[in-house]
Amino acid sequence: MLQALGHILPIALAVAISSVPIMATILILLSPNRSRSALPFLLGWVLGMAVVVTLCTLGAQAIPTPRSQRRPDTVIGVGEIIVGAALVVIAIIAWVRVRRHPTDAMPKWLDAVSSFRPWASFGVAFGLNVRPKGLLLAIAAGLALRGDGLTLPESAVAIAIYTIVGASTVAVPIIVTLAAPARMEPRLVAMKDWVARNSGAVTALILLLIGVVIIGTGLGRL
């Protein structure tokens, strides 16, 4: 169990540091709709994350188990190497893009987030979990849980921990801001400016590190 947590916690941290849901959260909290849309957004993000990683874990269960405990689980290892390599490629592309076209601009659709109604906020947050980067991280988590041979209850606990850690950077600002909006607004504005300036470089670095870690885990299974 502890070994599995050691494998999935870095992946969950990569999910937590994802700039798009963080920026969407900030924009909603700075909008007049925060009291109606912030909690639905949080619910959609948490539920979507839990559903996607659960489906990936269930899918990973279809991978045949080794006949002998001494036999290396090469299929899972190869899968992790492929996922890790894909994350490294995405990180390199993101870094090159940042270096060639430095900008503070975020995706255009984020400009509309502040006007979203509750159901739209829920749907967008849920959908953010099926972006290519999010899917790759969820697949990596599913493979890690499968490779470490957890029981069903242990997998459920690991998925819950993964979801809590991954959702923390969305949940904490929402909870704190709804409790003390006047105190949090200046911090949210400062956070918005920082994320806009640095999100590309930070995302590229985190994906690169996590990709290398996942590749290392996969190599260890060969």
pTM greater than 0.85: yes
**Tens digit of each residue's pLDDT (9 = 90 or more) over 64-88:** 766 555 454 788 888 899 999 999 9
Which DSSP state fits 71? Answer: S
8 to 12, 41, 158, 168, 201: CA distances (angstroms): 6, 24, 8, 15, 23
Structure tokens at 164: 């809590």
pLDDT category at 106 given cuts 50, 70, 90 is low
Residue 149's contacts (CB-CB under 8 Å, 6 or more residues apart) are none
- What pLDDT is attached to residue 70? 47
Per-residue pLDDT, 34: 86
Determine phi and psi for 16, rounding to 5 degrees: -60, -35
- Collapsing DSSP states into helix, strand and coil, what is residue 51? helix
